Every structure is written in structure tokens, then in C-alpha cells.
Amino acid sequence: MSEQREHWGGKLGFILAAAGSAVGLGNIWKFPYITGENGGSAFIIIYLICILIVGVPVLLAEVLLGRYSQRGPISTFKLYAKKHRPFWMAVGGLFFLTGLIILSYYNVVAGWSMGYMVESVIGNISAFSSSGDAAQHFNQLVSNPLWIIFWQFLFVAAGGLIVYFGVKNGIEKIARLLMPIFFIILLSLVIWGISLEGSEKGLNFLLKPDWSTVSYKTILIALGHAFFTLSVGMGVLLVYGSYINKTDNIVFCGIMIAILDTMIALMAGLAIFTSVFAMGFNPAEGPGLVFHVLPAVFSSIPHGGIFSTLFFFLLSIAALTSTISILEMLVSSIMDETRLSRHHIVIGASALVFVLGIPSALSFGGWSHIGLWNLNIFDVMDYLSANILLPLGGMLVAIFVGWYLSKKDVLYELHQGFGLTTTKRNIGRVWLFLVKYVAPILIFLVFLSAIGVIK
Ligand code: TRP
């Protein structure tokens, strides 16, 4: 290891940075549309249970592993895998690869958000008479290679610049600045959505469960999303955990991160569904909900341009604090294993991620015919990472912490900074049970469904 390991300035810094990683496109872009497609609040209830019994326990396991080892994923496995070391080092490599894949296409959607923010400011997306018009405008933009690659580049550069400044002066500073702004904007959008005439139909949709659409598959979608949204399963939280001080309470931090992430997803759902229903649009619009339907919604209300600018600014912030977490994982993994400086690694990794993302960027235009299994390159990346690589990574972390490390060491690490009363010991036991048995088995089921063994 070249330099001494940096640490967060404080517990709050870690919570905000990790919440920034968790709160991303998954909360604002994905969560509302999968809720719309899967039975509204019935889906939300299942999702909350998944977060509670699998998401939070595995999140804690990942953070704990990082704080325990004070290293990135590859070095951690190298150090602690007494048995099957090559296998576990390959798992570290898998995390790295998953990070590269997610980051490459995530930057593309993030770039659209930034591009749409500017479109809103110019007034290009505030005069649609239907969601069809809005969709057409969107398709025109994303099939223009210059537009899409320009914004993708800008986004990669912004993320790279922040990570360049390091943990405390880059990531933590920007999280402390942006997360409160993010929250205030989201809260104003929620209040505005609820105040629209007809918004109660949206509230109804979110509050009244429709169990008729719920199936086995719904549970699996909810579980898969629980991972994606909490940033669990590829070592990002492991790396963030490795910058936590030994005196900090990781149980408290982990629960706070999950609460913030869930609350923000629900608020985004509230803001979006109240306005979509109030203006008479369809909630189950799929991935296009945010880019096809919302611009039309904003077009049909007074001062819609202002709200639309705020909304896409919100989406850009959410994406930025998530992309930097993935980039940091990549950078930290290389820093652990080489003598290269952070600055050189950041430049190299950003360039690589930009180039790797170009095929995804082009898959909405010139390269749309290239792909696998009837999916374009972008969709292949998304499917592979969200439905296969992340659940697999989460399962492996749970197995490693639950089965490979000694129970004594794991519980010692958990209780450091958390304390040792009888209640706390019991919490520790329940947690370890969830990590050892419940999480791996449930994740295994998600995995089977994703590769099509269970229909
Ligand atoms: N959680 C982010 C979202 O909801 C995405 C993300 C960021 C992520 N870092 C991650 C997903 C690490 C998995 C692993 O959009």
C-alpha cells in the first residue's frame, strides 16, 4: 500500500456519502416505474420487507468487512480468505468488473439527466401536448451521438474531478454540500405534487395495496431492487466502510443509510405519482416514465419549466453522488494493489469508463441493432449487472462474512463503537443469523429467477 489510508471526517460524513451512493437513478428513475408496474403499495410493502431482512443485513456485512480489513475488496479477500484464496480473489476481481460495467452505462443515463436539465433551462421541453411528443423529442436526442457522448463525457469528467480530490476533500465535501440541497428540492417537489388538483388519485395508488398483481416474481423484483438501490453487492460499501473510524457505530450508520434511501425513494414516488395522476397520465409507463411522461406533465402545468429544471437537477445530483462511489471503489482497489498515485489512477479509470460507456451510449442510435438476446448493448449491461452480478456479489459477501470469518471476530467488529448491552448482543445474533442463512438463500432464489430457472 502506497499512502496511509484516508478516513472520513466523521460519522455524518460517512452517512451522507453512503446515502449519496445509495440514492441514485435507482430511487428516482427506477423505483417509481417498477412500483407502477407491480401493484403500487403492495409492491412497496414487499420491497420494505426485503430491505429489512436482506438489504440492511448484507449492507452491514459489507460495511463491516471493509472497516475490519481497512482495505478495498481485492486486498480484503486476499488477506482473509484462508481457504480457497484464488476463488475469493476472483470475487474481488468480479466486484471490480461489475463496477466497470455499471459505471459505464450509468454515466450515460446520468448524462441524459444533465442534458435534460439544460434542455429545461433553454425551454426545449416545456411545450409538449402529449407524452408521445415528449417521447419523440427524447428519442431524437438520444439517437444523436454528439449530444449523448458530449453529456456522457461531461458527467464522467465531473465525477472524476471529485474523486481526484480524495475521500475527505472530494467525496465527503461534495456529499455534505449536495445531499441537503437534494433533500430540499425533493421536499419542494413533493409538496408541489400534493398541492395539485387531483393528486389524491396518486396518493390512493401509493397507499391502497392491489394484491391481485402480486406474484412470486414481484418478490424477486423487489429483492433485486433492494440490492441495487442500497448499493450493495460490488464492494462500494466495503470501500466506504474501510474509511470509517473504529470508534463509529456502524449499526446505527447502516440503519440510517437504509432509512434515508427508502424515505427518498418513497418521496420520489410521491412527487412523481401525484403529478402524473393529477395530469391524467399513465403510471405504468416503464423506463420512459421519467423522460417521456414527466416532460409532458411539466408542460401541462403553470411554471412547469421551473419544476422540470429542478427535477432534472435533482436527478443529476442523485446520479453524481452514486457514480463517484463506484469510481472510488475502482480507484481504491487499484491503489491498494499498486504504487500508483490516486491522481493517475483517477485519470486512467475515468478514461476507461468513458470509452467503455460509448457502446451503451450509441445503443440508442446507430448501434441499436447490435446486442444479445434481443437486447441492445445498454440493456445487456443493465440486465447483467442488476439482475445477475449484484445479487451474486451480495450473496458472496454474506457467505464470506457469515461463514468464512470467525464468528468471534465478526461480532467483535460489529460491536466496536456499537456497544455491548444484552439487547445489542441480541441484535448482533439476529443479524448474523440473517447474514448466514436468510440472505444467501433468498438471494439464490433471485438469482435463479434472473437466469430464468424459476418462472
Ligand atoms: N444505488 C444506486 C442507485 O440506486 C446505484 C449504485 C451506486 C450502485 N453504487 C452502486 C448499485 C453500487 C450497486 C452497487 O441508483
Confidence label for 451 from pLDDT (cuts 50, 70 and 90): low
Identify how many contiguous H helices and E strands the chain contains and give both numbers: 22, 2
Per-residue pLDDT, 1: 44
- Which pTM was predicted? 0.91
Ligand 1 geometric centre to CA of 228 (Å): 5
pLDDT at 216 over 90: no
Q: Which range, 151-155, 303-307, 381-385, has the best average confidence (pLDDT)?
A: 151-155
Q: Taking residues 324-352, report their average pLDDT.
A: 94
Q: Taking residues 196-216, report their average pLDDT.
A: 84
Confidence label for 453 from pLDDT (cuts 50, 70 and 90): low
Residues of the chain above pLDDT 70, percent: 95
* Residue reference for cell 489512477: 345
The residue to mutate among 34, 47, 103, 231, having the most atoms of ligand 1 within 8 angstroms of its beta carbon, is: 231
Q: Using a 6 Å cutoff on CB, does residue 22 contact ligand 1?
A: yes
Confidence label for 364 from pLDDT (cuts 50, 70 and 90): confident
Per-residue pLDDT, 198: 87
Q: Using a 6 Å cutoff on CB, does residue 224 contact ligand 1?
A: no
Q: Using a 6 Å cutoff on CB, does residue 228 contact ligand 1?
A: yes
Q: Using a 6 Å cutoff on CB, does residue 91 contact ligand 1?
A: no
The residue to mutate among 260, 322, 331, having the most atoms of ligand 1 within 8 angstroms of its beta carbon, is: 322
CATH code 2.20.25 for 11-450: no
Per-residue pLDDT, 187: 93
Write the residue with the smallest CA distance to atom 14 of ligand 1. Answer: 231
Ligand 1 geometric centre to CA of 407 (Å): 29
Burial state string for 268-307 with b = 16 or more CB within 10 A and e = fewer than 16: bbbbbbbbbbbbebebebeeebbbbbbbbbbbbbeebbeb
Atom number, ligand 1, closest to the C-alpha of residue 390: 13
pLDDT in tens, 6-64: 899 988 999 999 999 999 999 998 898 888 888 888 999 999 999 999 999 999 999 99
**pLDDT-wise least confident of 223-232, 267-276, 429-438, 445-454:** 445-454
Atom number, ligand 1, closest to the C-alpha of residue 98: 14
Per-residue pLDDT, 2: 42
Q: Using a 6 Å cutoff on CB, does residue 325 contact ligand 1?
A: yes
Q: Taking residues 85-91, report their average pLDDT.
A: 93
Q: Using a 6 Å cutoff on CB, does residue 21 contact ligand 1?
A: yes
Confidence label for 172 from pLDDT (cuts 50, 70 and 90): very high
Whether residue 199 contacts residue 274, with contact meaning beta carbons closer than 8 Å, is answered with yes
**pLDDT-wise least confident of 95-99, 218-222, 348-352:** 218-222
Closest to 135 (Cα-Cα) out of 245, 324, 293: 293
pLDDT at 450 over 70: no
Per-residue pLDDT, 76: 94
Ligand 1 geometric centre to CA of 349 (Å): 18
Whether residue 319 contacts residue 25, with contact meaning beta carbons closer than 8 Å, is answered with yes
Contacts of 171 (CB under 8 A, 6+ apart): 17, 162, 163, 324, 325, 328
Ligand 1 geometric centre to CA of 287 (Å): 17
What is the overall mean pLDDT for the chain? 89
Q: Taking residues 205-223, report their average pLDDT.
A: 82
pLDDT in tens, 173-203: 999 999 999 999 999 889 988 988 888 998 8
Atom number, ligand 1, closest to the C-alpha of residue 325: 9
For the chain, domain boundaries: 11-450
Confidence label for 395 from pLDDT (cuts 50, 70 and 90): very high
| Three cell numbers, residue 312 | 432534472
Ligand 1 geometric centre to CA of 120 (Å): 26
Ligand 1 geometric centre to CA of 386 (Å): 9
Alpha helices (H) along 338-406: 342-362, 377-382, 390-399
pLDDT at 345 over 70: yes
Q: Taking residues 100-113, report their average pLDDT.
A: 92
Q: Using a 6 Å cutoff on CB, does residue 390 contact ligand 1?
A: yes
Per-residue pLDDT, 350: 96
